[in-house]
Amino acid sequence: GDSVTQMEGPVTLSEEAFLTINCTYTATGYPSLFWYVQYPGEGLQLLLKATKADDKGSNKGFEATYRKETTSFHLEKGSVQVSDSAVYFCALSSASGGSYIPTFGRGTSLIVHP
Partner 1 sequence: DAGITQSPRHKVTETGTPVTLRCHQTENHRYMYWYRQDPGHGLRLIHYSYGVKDTDKGEVSDGYSVSRSKTEDFLLTLESATSSQTSVYFCASAGEGEKLFFGSGTQLSVL
Q: Bridge partners of 21?
A: 75
Number of H-type helices and E-type strands within the chain = 0, 12
User: Length of the chain in residues, anyone?
Assistant: 114
For position 112 contacting partner 1 by CB under 8 A, the verdict is no
| Minimum distance of partner 1 from residue 77's CB (angstroms) | 21
| Minimum distance of partner 1 from residue 16's CB (angstroms) | 29
Per-residue x/- track, 30-69, partner 1 (CB under 8 A) = --x-x-x----xxxxxx--x--------------------
The residue within the footprint of partner 1, chosen from 23, 89, 110, 112 (CB under 8 A), is 89
User: Of 97 and 114, which has the nearer Cβ to partner 1?
Assistant: 97
User: Of 42 and 69, which has the nearer Cβ to partner 1?
Assistant: 42
Buried b (16+ CB within 10 A) or exposed e, 68-104: eeebbbbbebeebeeebbbbbbbbbbbeeeeeeeebe
Handedness of CA 77, 47, 60, 42 (dihedral sign): negative
Query: Where do contacts with partner 1 occur on this chain (CB under 8 A)?
Result: 32, 34, 36, 41-46, 49, 89, 93, 98-107
